[in-house]
Amino acid sequence: MTTHQVTTQVRLNMESCQVGLFKLPGLRFIKGELPEELQAEMIAWAKENNCGTQMNDWLWSFKNEKQREWFILRWSDSIPKPEKE
């Protein structure tokens, strides 16, 4: 993972993870941070583009890292940013 990817993920309230027995690439969001409307848009886009599966309201799974990166690029402007303390 490059420095840019790590910075982007920290800034967007999400982090990379591994999902399931096969340790597929995943994204973990902070619970309750994504609005329902945004989640619905993300699910529809993911189905249309065959790019990821929402496991629950805070966890996404992808077949490979390229799909995960594509998902991040697509939604990085829409995901709520953390509040500065």
Cα distance from N-terminal residue to C-terminal residue, the chain: 27
Residues 5-61 pLDDT 10s: 444 444 567 889 999 999 999 999 988 888 999 999 999 999 999 999 999 989 999
- Tell me the residue ranges of DSSP E strands in the chain: 14-19, 24-29, 53-56, 59-61
Check residues 2 and 84 and name the one with the higher pLDDT: 84
Report the alpha-carbon distance of residue 69 to residue 27 in Å, rounded: 10
Ranges of each domain in the chain: 3-75
Binning pLDDT at 50, 70 and 90, where does residue 79 land? confident
